């Protein structure tokens, strides 16, 4: 009969991994480039005040991070949508696209960013690789370290189809966890800049939850 690992060592790995992630995020805070972050905030402020749309997009776990960010923007009163949802409208001139991709190479995200760029939307890329195809397309790049190694020329969907998975915990996970924390920080900064309170956010929160 197969035996489960002892609780002690298993817990040790959980704690060690959590500590590594926390330490990594703490180091990234000091490596953020203020001018990049401020440019992103200025785009979002302008879109909010002018009544334009925000489209958030990402693939895989980055997509989940994007959904969490989009939810908070909605709570603040942004006209925000997520790529792939059936109710997402067309994007046009002066709308903003926030594209989240650690590699900056995921074909779906790059292709969508190209299409948005052609109609005059402002592209904000959150990525570890500012020189990637997504980074080169973007009007604003916010560099979030995290993906220290990636398989060349193989994007997210190709990896899934081929069954190629990166090592556990570091690499992509560090980017996604760091991006999530960073975007939560962006939300709080926007709250202060736009004069929003938690009561304002609560008023937009779902009221039909069980």
Q: Which helix (H) or strand (E) holds 207?
A: none
CB-based contacts of 159: which residues, under 8 Å, 6+ apart? Answer: 151, 165, 166
Can you read off the two tokens belonging to residue 60?
Answer: 């895989």
Distance CA 183, CA 188 (A): 9
- Distance between CA atoms of 199 and 205, rounded to whole angstroms? 10
Q: Sign of the C-alpha dihedral, residues 197, 198, 202, 205?
A: positive
6 is catalytic: no
Considering the candidates 2, 176, 198, 209, report the single residue annotated as catalytic: 176
Question: What are the catalytic residues?
Answer: 176
């Amino acid at each position: 009969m197969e035996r489960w690992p002892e609780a002690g060592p298993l817990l040790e790995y959980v704690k060690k991994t959590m500590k590594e992630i926390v330490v990594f995020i703490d180091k990234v805070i000091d490596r953020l480039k203020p001018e990049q972050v401020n440019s992103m905030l200025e785009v979002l402020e302008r879109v909010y005040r002018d009544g334009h749309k925000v489209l958030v997009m990402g693939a895989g776990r980055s997509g989940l991070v994007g959904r969490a960010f989009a939810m908070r923007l909605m709570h603040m009163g942004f006209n925000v949508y997520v790529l792939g949802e059936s109710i997402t409208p067309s994007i046009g001139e002066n709308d903003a696209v926030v594209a989240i991709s650690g590699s900056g190479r995921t074909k779906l995200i790059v292709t969508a960013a190209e299409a948005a760029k052609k109609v005059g939307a402002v592209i904000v890329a959150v990525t570890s690789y500012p020189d990637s195809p997504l980074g080169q397309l973007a009007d604003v790049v916010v560099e979030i370290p995290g993906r220290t190694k990636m398989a060349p020329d193989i994007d997210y969907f190709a990896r899934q189809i081929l069954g190629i998975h990166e090592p556990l915990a570091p690499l992509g996970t560090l980017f996604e966890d760091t991006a999530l924390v960073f975007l939560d920080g962006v939300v709080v900064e926007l709250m202060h800049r736009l004069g929003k309170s938690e009561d304002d956010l609560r008023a937009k929160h779902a009221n039909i939850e069980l």
